[in-house]
Chains A and B, each alone.
Chain A
């Protein structure tokens, strides 16, 4: 647990953002937006970077493969654009906002485990050029997402 807090603090410091401390729960970073399908997005002007959250990677297990879209591919909010494989399952990765893929994280081809070890930093999945910046309003902030995760886990 201490290692995870240290990791979270280092990530936050690097990204110049603050961290919500959630005790024994998964890490949620304050200045990101979150989808209810457990993807995070960092918006920077008309560009956005996506990945899956710490909650998602923890529940999925060791990621052994990431299926990435091609650069130039269109992604739509809420729709699948790729997949991760973990344990014996393929799990869709859904786009938190709409846009066009401008970069994919090629590192994940050789090192899919980055999604587990560094979900908000080295484990980023794609970068897109946004088609509708307003869509981010539909996403959750860190507090809402933290509560969402707690409620989901409490149900089971």
Chain B
């Protein structure tokens, strides 16, 4: 048996699902289902989503976070996801990487936000080795002081998910749908969206990023490719689905709330 095979035997198993252009709602439903009903570790990579979509964290209030009128007029879908964190607008250029882990398979990581975040920063440190200025800053991935990756987590009894949306490129017009949130990292320093974020494409090739990420994950887990069609055999049992698309009625209420407070 080769040395690399021996090494693999000591690493916990992780299933790798590679998607391309999967709608973000479908991706989030898949993640929530796997977190709650599977006992395996998972890495999900989605190379872009199909249409521009706004995604809020669990506690997000649309009237506070988005410009509701243009969002409704332009029929931009708004999702509330099962993880914490802030609001993003994602599209076909966004890259998504999600890691679902059993806490016992990552024993050096405590199942708490800061510990998981630090572990992720170290993993992506490998991916961006040689790329100037990469760091985990507060809870964001940045080049220098400009954010290109937003993180969120959900922690349950013995498992957790850490998922990231990477801003490969963005349309400035889409950023205009988002308000300046009340909770911002200290390093943001009152900058508006376009001054605060940067485009990952200016730093690394797209395929290079995906392959280096898979490789970095493969240094800690033995990866096994799983097709989406085979997921049912891994995810058994019911769970309460909390990720959902906001209804027009909810957005209308949010707009009414915004108008009253104006």
Contacts and interface: CB of A to CB of B under 8 A. Distances in A.
Interface stretch (B8-16, B111-119, B228-236): B111-119
Nearest to A79: B157
A90 B155 CA distance: 6
B113 A60 contact: yes
B157 A37 contact: yes
Interface residues of A, number: 22
Given A60-B112, A156-B108, A85 B155 contact: no
Interface in A44-62: 59-61
Contacts, number: 77
B83 A88 contact: yes
B258 interface: no
Interface stretch (B123-131, B146-154, B210-218, B248-256): B146-154
A92 B156 contact: yes
A90 B112 contact: no
Where chain A touches its partner, the secondary structure class is: strand
A1 interface: no
A18 interface: no
Nearest to B58: A90
A42 B82 CA distance: 30
B183 interface: yes
B165 to A, nearest CB: 12
A83 interface: yes
Given A64-B59, A65-B58, A88 B117 contact: yes
A94 interface: yes
Contacts of A111: none
Interface in B56-88: 57-59, 82-86
A80 interface: yes
B59 A89 contact: no
Given A65-B59, A155-B107, A89 B154 contact: yes
A90 B83 CA distance: 5
A80 B83 CA distance: 15
A59 B110 CA distance: 9
Contacts of A91: 112-113, 154-156
Interface in A1-53: 37
A59 to B, nearest CB: 4
B185 to A, nearest CB: 10
A89 B156 contact: no
Interface in A100-133: none
Contact of B117 (A67, A78, A87, A155): A87
B174 interface: no
B155 A156 contact: no
Contacts of B50: none
B139 interface: yes
Contacts of B59: 64-65, 67, 85
9 contacts: A80-B157, A85-B57, A85-B59, A88-B57, A88-B117, A89-B85, A89-B154, A90-B58, A90-B82
Interface of B: 57-59, 82-86, 107-110, 112-117, 139, 151-157, 160, 183
Interface of A: 37, 59-61, 64-65, 67, 78, 80, 83, 85-92, 94, 152, 155-156
